[in-house]
C-alpha cells in the first residue's frame, strides 16, 4: 500500500518522561506505516531545553507561526526538585506558557467520549469544549500582605503624566490586597479565537462573566464579545445555524450541568482553569482530554491535556511495561494531521486522521483498554493491556 503523502511539514515538539516514550510508540505503530510523515522536529525534552538555554522552545514556536500547525508532547515544567534531578542551571519556564505567549493563543479542551463510559453527569451526551482565556487576570496579579491599618489605592499613571486613582479599602486591621489586569487586545483576540473555533466545529458558543458585580472589568469582556459578534460574526453564525449566548457565570454553570453538551464554553482565565478540571473528571479521565491552542490568526498547536505521567515513567525505567493511556496524545497527532490535511487540501490525510480516531475509540468500546479506564468502562469482557498492546490493537482495527 502506498503511504499517504503530505505537503507541508508539521512542527513536531517532542517532550519528556512517559509521554516521550508513548510519542515514539504512536509514530512507530499507527502513523509511520500509513503516512509519509513530514515534520520539522524540535526536542523540547528538558535536557535539550537546558542544553539550548530554552532557545529550542522559542525556535519551535517561531516555526509554528511559519508553518501553521504543530503537535506537542507533554513536557516537564521544572520546579525545585527537577532542578536537582536534571542538574538545571535555571528553572526554565513552562514551554506551554512560552508558546502560548508567543502565539497569543486560546486553549480549547474537549473530552473524548466513549460509548460505555458514562460521564458522571448523566445528561451529557455530546462533548463540551472549554475555551480558556490564557492571559492575565489572577495569573499575573500583584499581591500585598497588609500588616495593619492602611489605605489601599489603585493608581494609574498615563505617559502624559495624567493620573487616576481610587481607594480600594481602608484597612483597620491586617489583611490582603490584590491587583490584576487585562487588555482590550487580548480580550478581542480571545473573542475572535472562540467565534472562529465555534464556526469551525459548527457548535453554539457560550460565554459568561460576573459583569453584575464587576461592572467595569468583567463588563468589558462582555462588551468586547458583543461588539465583535455584532460586527464580524453574526451573519456567519446565522448562516451556520449556530448561536452566541451570553449569561452570568453562575447561571452558565447551572445550565451546563443540565445540558446535553455539544457546545463551546468560553471562560475567563480562572473560570477556565477550574471548569476544565471539573469537565475532565466529570467526563471520566484526564487521559481522555484533548487540548489545542489556537491563535487569533489561525495557527494551531495540538497536545494532550495531561502531563508527562511521571509515576508511570519511573516504573518504565525499572523495566515494567506500563498501561499508560495514549489516547489524548494520539488525538493530538490526529488533530494536527487532520488540520494539515484541511489546510493543504489533502483528503486522504483528513480521512486517515478520522479513521485512526474511530479505530481507537472502537478499540476501547470493544473492551481493550488501559488501566485508567478499568473502573469507568461498562463492558463485561474488558481486557486491560499495556500501551504497546493497546496501540497494536488500534492498528489491527485500522
Provide the minimum distance between the beta carbon of 398 and ligand NAP in the complex, in angstroms, as a whole number.
20
The angle at the Cα of 204, spanning 208 to 181, to the nearest 5 degrees, equals 30
**To 10 degrees, what angle do helices 347-365 and 387-397 make?**
120
Provide the minimum distance between the beta carbon of 276 and Mg ion in the complex, in angstroms, as a whole number.
7
CB nearer to Mg ion: pick between 203 and 290: 290
- Could you tell me which stretch among 31-39, 77-85, 253-261, 267-275 binds Mg ion (CB under 5 A)? 267-275
Pick from 260, 250, 251: which is nearest to 204 by CA? 260
- Could you tell me which stretch among 6-14, 72-80, 117-125, 152-160 binds ligand NAP (CB under 6 A)? 72-80
Q: Spell out the residues 6+ positions from residue 30 whose beta carbon is closer than 8 angstroms to its own.
A: 330, 356, 391, 394, 395, 398
Give the one residue of 264, 309, 337, 394 binding ligand NAP; rule: CB under 6 A: 309
Grid cell, residue 240, equals 451556520
Give the one residue of 116, 136, 262, 307 binding ligand NAP; rule: CB under 6 A: 307
Give the one residue of 61, 71, 76, 356 binding ligand NAP; rule: CB under 6 A: 76
Give the one residue of 310, 354, 379, 386 binding ligand NAP; rule: CB under 6 A: 310
Phi and psi of 131, rounded to 5°? -105, 115
Pick from 339, 383, 391, 393: which is nearest to 23 by CA? 391
Give the one residue of 40, 273, 342, 389 binding Mg ion; rule: CB under 5 A: 273
Q: 76 is in the binding site of which of Mg ion, ligand NAP, none (Cβ under 5 to 8 A by kind)?
A: ligand NAP
Provide the minimum distance between the beta carbon of 187 and ligand NAP in the complex, in angstroms, as a whole number.
24
> Would you count residue 290 as binding ligand NAP (CB under 6 A)?
no
Q: 273 is in the binding site of which of ligand NAP, Mg ion, none (Cβ under 5 to 8 A by kind)?
A: Mg ion
Grid cell, residue 341, equals 490535511
> Would you count residue 348 as binding Mg ion (CB under 5 A)?
no
CB nearer to Mg ion: pick between 257 and 274: 274
Residues within window 80-109 making contact with ligand NAP, judged by CB under 6 A = 96
Q: 309 is in the binding site of which of Mg ion, ligand NAP, none (Cβ under 5 to 8 A by kind)?
A: ligand NAP
CB nearer to Mg ion: pick between 114 and 292: 292
Provide the minimum distance between the beta carbon of 331 and ligand NAP in the complex, in angstroms, as a whole number.
11
CB nearer to Mg ion: pick between 59 and 273: 273
Residues within window 370-389 making contact with ligand NAP, judged by CB under 6 A = 372
> Would you count residue 308 as binding ligand NAP (CB under 6 A)?
yes
CB nearer to ligand NAP: pick between 272 and 341: 272
Give the one residue of 198, 266, 279, 286 binding ligand NAP; rule: CB under 6 A: 286
* Footprint of ligand NAP (CB under 6 A): 74-77, 96, 286-287, 303, 306-311, 324-325, 372
* Footprint of Mg ion (CB under 5 A): 273
Amino acid at each position: 500500500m502506498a503511504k499517504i503523502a503530505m505537503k507541508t511539514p508539521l512542527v513536531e515538539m517532542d517532550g519528556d518522561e512517559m509521554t516521550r516514550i508513548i510519542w515514539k510508540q504512536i509514530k512507530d505503530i499507527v502513523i509511520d506505516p500509513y503516512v509519509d510523515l513530514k515534520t520539522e522536529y524540535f526536542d523540547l525534552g528538558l535536557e535539550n531545553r537546558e542544553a539550548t538555554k530554552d532557545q529550542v522552545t522559542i525556535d519551535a514556536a517561531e516555526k509554528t507561526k511559519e508553518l501553521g500547525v504543530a503537535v506537542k508532547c507533554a513536557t516537564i515544567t521544572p520546579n525545585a526538585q527537577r532542578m536537582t534531578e536534571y542538574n538545571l542551571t535555571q528553572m526554565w519556564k513552562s514551554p506551554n506558557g512560552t508558546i502560548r505567549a508567543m502565539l497569543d493563543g486560546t486553549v480549547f479542551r474537549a473530552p473524548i467520549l466513549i460509548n460505555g463510559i458514562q460521564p458522571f453527569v448523566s445528561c451529557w451526551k455530546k462533548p463540551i469544549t472549554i475555551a480558556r482565556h490564557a492571559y492575565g487576570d489572577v495569573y499575573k496579579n500583584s499581591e500585598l500582605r497588609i500588616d495593619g491599618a492602611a489605605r489601599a489605592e489603585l493608581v494609574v499613571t498615563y505617559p502624559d503624566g495624567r493620573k487616576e486613582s481610587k481607594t480600594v479599602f481602608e484597612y483597620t486591621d491586617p489583611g490582603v490586597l490584590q491587583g490584576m489586569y487585562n487588555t482590550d487586545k487580548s480580550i478581542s483576540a480571545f473573542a475572535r479565537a472562540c467565534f472562529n473555533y465555534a464556526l469551525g466545529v459548527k457548535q453554539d458558543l457560550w460565554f459568561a462573566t460576573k459583569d453584575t458585580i464587576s461592572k467595569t472589568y468583567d463588563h468589558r469582556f462582555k462588551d468586547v464579545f458583543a461588539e465583535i459578534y455584532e460586527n464580524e460574526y453574526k451573519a456567519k453564525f446565522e448562516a451556520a445555524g449556530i448561536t452566541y449566548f451570553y449569561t452570568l457565570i453562575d447561571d452558565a454553570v447551572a445550565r451546563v450541568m443540565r445540558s446535553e453538551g455539544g457546545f463551546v464554553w468560553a471562560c475567563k482565565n480562572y473560570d477556565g482553569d477550574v471548569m476544565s478540571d471539573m469537565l475532565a473528571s466529570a467526563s471520566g479521565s484526564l487521559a481522555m482530554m484533548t487540548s489545542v491552542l489556537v491563535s487569533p490568526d489561525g495557527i494551531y498547536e495540538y497536545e494532550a491535556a495531561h502531563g508527562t505521567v511521571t509515576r508511570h515513567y519511573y516504573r518504565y525505567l525499572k523495566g515494567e511495561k506500563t498501561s499508560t493511556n495514549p489516547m489524548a496524545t494520539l488525538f493530538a497527532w490526529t488533530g494536527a494531521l487532520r488540520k494539515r490535511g484541511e489546510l493543504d487540501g489533502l483528503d486522504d490525510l483528513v480521512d486517515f486522521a478520522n479513521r485512526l480516531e474511530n479505530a481507537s475509540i472502537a478499540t476501547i468500546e470493544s473492551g481493550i483498554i488501559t488501566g485508567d479506564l478499568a473502573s469507568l468502562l461498562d463492558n463485561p469482557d474488558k481486557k486491560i493491556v499495556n500501551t504497546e498492546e493497546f496501540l497494536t490493537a488500534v492498528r489491527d482495527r485500522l
